[in-house]
Structure 1
Amino acid sequence: MAPNIFFVPANLASFAIQSCLYGVYLVLAVTSICLIAGRNASRRRRGTSIHWSPSLVGAIGLFVTITAQHWILIVDRAFSAFIRFPLGPLEFYGNLAETTQVVKTGFLVGTLAIGDALIIHRLWIVWGYNKYVIMFPIGTLIGLVVSGAGITYQFTRYKPGQTVFLSEAGRWITAETVFTFCTNVYCTAFISWRLWNQGRAIQPYGGPSLRSVLAIMVESAAIYTIGTIFYLACYRSQSNLQLIVIDCWPAITGIACMAIYVRVGLGWTHLEGKPSIVAATQPLSFAVDTTRLEQADTDFDCPMDELNEERNKGTV
């Protein structure tokens, strides 16, 4: 482990940086939830009951876990370490079995699981509800949850003198990081390939370009993936920088997810009231089943069935 002199400063730095990131996330989260709820309400008035869509539930779930992890736990832990705990901040932050540390870890696992579930849901929608394409990420999601439970349990069994790098939790931490990395890389790659392929198919018929959609997905995935790789590198090198990254990880997850919803939501608002086949197939809207003309009632739902039918008629 790095010298203890860097341990407390690392926790102070994580508190400051994570507060800034949480502020960014909070703006995106409130905007996203309002846009998704407004969009759902608009469709409900047209006879489609999707008020509690998976993306809305997921966005609210992320907001709850990230807010709890930051304000209820990280802020409270800072006050406890420097004001209430008699042995000082070094002993407080070094105790992995401390109740708030264990609960904070649980909220972190919950945040990562919700974030991964949301991207798996997008993959499922984009690939036309193909259950086979999501089998691998569902497996890695289960692995993430199991690994997270293992980390939380091992923290409760922490003994004085152990470190997070050499404790039994170490193997679970590495596994959890690899699982979430695989989930995001797999889902982003398959979503991007599907968008690129569909974009090439519809453009000759006057369909909308999907390059901006690809950019949104890749940029958001890059934010999360870079953070994940950086955390794993810090942890494996036994650097206390991992303390900063691990506290910022939930906010980074939220920013990566909510940035997509905000940019897509702004597209909804811009296209609202424009009755055309292109406008009807707003960003992240795809034909998910060419055998039926049915619109999927989700945040990434887009009737590409209609596009395909029009394309087959040669009228698009």
Structure 2
Amino acid sequence: MTPNGISLDMASILGLALESVLYGISLLLFAGTIWVLFTRDSPKRVLACKLVVSLALFALSTAYWIVDVIRCIEGLVLYRDSYLGGPNAFFADRAQWTFAVQNLLYLLQTLVGDGVVIFRCYVAWQSWKVVALPLVLWVIVAATGAGTVYTLIHNKDGENDIFASETGLLITPFLVSSLVANVFSTSLLVYRLWVVGRRAERLMRQSIGYPHRSMIAPLARIFADAGLLYSITLLAVLLTFVTQNQGLYVTLDLIMPIISITFYMVILRVETRTTSGNITRGSGRAPRDSNTTQTLEHRPEGGGSSGKYSSMSTMLTVLFPAS
């Protein structure tokens, strides 16, 4: 099958434009994440882990964006007349250093992003057996990704054979393994939150007349939203590759900042949810002994005004002792 879709120069321009928008959004979310991490009272080990991952994703997505800008400048301005086929020939040349660096950065970003999703699933279940399959898939992603980068760099036969069978044997399992690992881990995580949330809600309703609305449902939606966003983007990458559509390069540019965005989004939304004054939405404050209570308040220690985290935060501590 002959590669189809938009031209390579158009794909590079469109990819950089859309990537820049998403990268700008990720910068704002990164700044918010750093602020949240240093203003919330968290264990040092937890803070260090989240900070390292945040900085790693920021560094990788920033490096990718910078290399992408350089690649576009070289292909469209500096070396546009150096190739017989013009900019299209430049972007099809896998010998360019920018091509190799971009593929390596994408591999590293994928490994970090997938690793975070798998780790969250493990922490929720506290069982290596549950995440055995995602871990195997993660290893496959690492192996096939490294093999793809090596093949694309060292095999100089042909101009633009990223869709050739040789690379397809590596790229297809790379994308499929990453997609399955994310869907599987996210589904198990959301299911765990739902089950434990229902159980805790039932116990609290019996003891203090807690309202019928699930306090853990918003948390489950947060992780589901992040997983869905990443999985849809990854599916778009897979479909463009399988159909040999050169829009693949656009989707690859998009997925880099999206991986960062999903991570920052989870931290910001969870912290906002767990430190808010009200956990459930209602029409007002009902008596404390009422079975129709609509609001669960903070209860400060020693009569102070600051107070501890609400019951959802306690639930987070139970579910995520490492977060």
Q: TM-score, normalising length from structure 1? A: 0.83
Q: Does 1:278 align with 2:284?
A: no
Instruction: Give yes or no for contact 1:96–1:102 (8 Å, CA) kept in 2.
Output: yes
Q: What does the per-residue CA deviation read over 1:116-160, in whole Å, with 9 as the maximum and x for residues that have no partner?
A: 111111111111x31221221111111111111011101112323
1:126-275 matched pairs, under 5 angstroms? 126-127=124-125, 129-156=126-153, 157-166=155-164, 168-206=166-204, 209-270=215-276, 273-275=306-308
One-letter amino acid matched to 1:286? V
For residues 49 and 111 of structure 1, the distance between their equivalents in structure 2, rounded to whole angstroms, comes to: 25
Q: Which residue of 1 aligns with 2:50?
A: 55
Instruction: Give yes or no for contact 1:192–1:214 (8 Å, CA) kept in 2.
Output: yes
Residue 4 of structure 1: CA displacement?
8.4
In percent, how many aligned pairs have the same letter?
A: 23
Q: Which residue of 1 aligns with 2:281?
A: none
- Alignment CA distance shift 1:143-1:279 (3 Å): closer
Question: How many residues matched?
Answer: 282
Structure of higher CA gyration radius: 2
- Alignment CA distance shift 1:276-1:285 (3 Å): closer
Q: TM-score, normalising length from structure 2? A: 0.81
For residues 312 and 194 of structure 2, the distance between their equivalents in structure 1, rounded to whole angstroms, comes to: 19
- Alignment CA distance shift 1:287-1:244 (3 Å): closer
1:296-315 matched pairs, under 5 angstroms? 296=321, 298-299=322-323
- Alignment CA distance shift 1:90-1:260 (3 Å): same
Runs (4+) of structure 1 exceeding 4 A deviation are none
Q: Does 1:82 align with 2:59?
A: no
User: What is the RMSD of the two structures over their aligned residues, measured on CA atoms?
Assistant: 2.1
Residue 38 of structure 1: CA displacement?
3.0
Residue 186 of structure 1: CA displacement?
0.9
Instruction: Give yes or no for contact 2:93–2:159 (8 Å, CA) kept in 1.
Output: no
- Alignment CA distance shift 1:184-1:83 (3 Å): same
Residue 270 of structure 1: CA displacement?
2.8
- SS of residue in 2 equivalent to 1:233: helix
Structure 2 unaligned spans of 5+: 205-209, 278-297, 299-305
One-letter amino acid matched to 1:132? K
Residue 3 of structure 1: CA displacement?
5.3
- Alignment CA distance shift 1:103-1:286 (3 Å): same
Instruction: Give yes or no for contact 1:181–1:228 (8 Å, CA) kept in 2.
Output: yes
